[in-house]
Amino acid sequence: MKKSLIALLVATLPAAAFADVTIYGKIKGGVEYVDNGSTKQTNVDDLGSRIGFKGSEDLGNGLKTIWQVETGFAVDGTGKQNANGSSNSSSGTFANRESFIGLQGSFGTIRLGNISNFQDSDMGIVDAWEYKDAALGLGVFTRDADRLKNSIRYDLPAIVPGLTAALQYGTKEDKATASDREIYGLGLGYENSGFFGKYAYTYEAQQPTVLPVIGTVTSTNDKHRLEVGYNANNLLVAFGYNQVDAKLANTAGSEKFKTKDYALTAAYTLGAFTPKFTYGQGETKGLGVTAGKYDQYILGVDYAASKRTTIGAQYGHINLKDDNTKDRNAFGLNMVHKF
């Protein structure tokens, strides 16, 4: 009875209520077996499910309003928490993913809201995996691909075919919160005949941080990311490079830290099957020592059950090289449906 009433109500709404509105999303779930060297555990996880609404309105003279509201949710029932009980900002709160309002015209596109940075919106092809555990994907390499709250982003018009460029600014609205900081972003990309090259730069302004023993320091970060490769004719080859230059300072002086990550991914589609392989490595240098050094590889295959449904399986291994650390191994099965 209730379903019939809802259907009748929807049928009586004016067509204008649905004009230029698109409903879209992904449902992503998986089973992962993880061995961290101390414990072995099997998890049923959501892998980033989301639903979104987007639309536009023609304002005339080539100008239009654009908007989007996207929300993450967890199909495994964990709601706002990760498997370890920590908060998951990508699930459980309305409009917690990329959501904005803006204008689009011959001048380009300008948006304001909770907007993806260039690394999140235009890059990341080197991380061709669906996963929750870090051993099953390049979560370490892509850690800076995120949405920037309280931000404004300008995308230049496509003057040259294949060329993209974007500028982004995130405000420090909460002056009393130490974790809030101003962020500036630049993104550049070019694609032609399957070949692509993309670069992103992020500057994170000064922020106070409390470190063990040392106490309170201020930190600024310069972040660079480059991805190049080929993606056409059933073949994907992608190389990625990350570099973070961090400067920590207090009354006693300052110290610089440099983090570098590399990743290489190859995949080839044979009918409905796409075997894939990824290798990655990284390290951080500062105070005359090297820390956080790791090697990583992932091997798996995707099966396209339809145009909108994919089933995947992968095995991942992370070799942690610091003292008193243990390697991490994981095996995962996943299923993704797009709508």
Question: Which of the 8 DSSP states describes residue 138?
Answer: -
14 part of a folded domain: no
Q: Tens-digit pLDDT profile for the chain (339 aa)?
A: 444 544 454 455 555 455 589 999 999 999 999 999 999 999 999 999 999 999 999 999 999 999 999 999 999 987 655 444 444 555 668 999 999 999 999 999 999 999 999 999 999 999 999 999 999 999 999 999 999 999 999 999 988 999 999 999 999 877 666 567 899 999 999 999 999 999 999 999 987 777 665 667 788 999 999 999 999 999 999 999 999 999 888 767 788 999 999 999 999 999 999 999 999 999 999 888 888 899 999 999 999 999 999 999 999 999 998 888 899 999 999 999 999
**Pairwise CA distance, residues 253 & 159, whole Å:** 47
321 part of a folded domain: yes
**Pairwise CA distance, residues 337 & 52, whole Å:** 14
Phi (first) and psi of residue 65, to 5 degrees? -85, 135
9 part of a folded domain: no
Among 64, 145, 60, 54, residue whose Cα is nearest residue 108: 64
11 part of a folded domain: no
15 part of a folded domain: no
62 part of a folded domain: yes
168 CA to centre of own chain: 16
Residues 6+ away with beta carbon under 8 Å from 14? none
278 CA to centre of own chain: 17
DSSP β-ladder status, 309-320 and 289-304: antiparallel
The CATH number of the domain holding residue 151 is: 2.40.160.10
At 33 the pLDDT is: 98
Question: Which of the 8 DSSP states describes residue 17?
Answer: G
At 6 the pLDDT is: 43
206 part of a folded domain: yes
For residues 313 and 332, the answer to whether their CB atoms sit within 8 Å is yes
71 part of a folded domain: yes
By residue range, what is the domain housing residue 65? 21-338
Phi (first) and psi of residue 121, to 5 degrees? -90, -35
- Give the helix, strand, coil percentages of the chain, each rounded to 5: 5, 60, 30
At 323 the pLDDT is: 81
For residues 318 and 293, the answer to whether their CB atoms sit within 8 Å is no
**Pairwise CA distance, residues 218 & 214, whole Å:** 11
First to last CA, the chain: 27
- The β-bridge partners of 192 are 195
Among 198, 219, 192, 195, residue whose Cα is nearest residue 207: 219
The label of the residue with tokens 């100008």 reads 63
Degrees to nearest 5, angle at CA 224 with 69 and 145: 25
Q: What is the pTM of this model?
A: 0.87
**Pairwise CA distance, residues 329 & 171, whole Å:** 40
For residues 220 and 206, the answer to whether their CB atoms sit within 8 Å is yes
Task: Count the domains in the chain.
Answer: 1
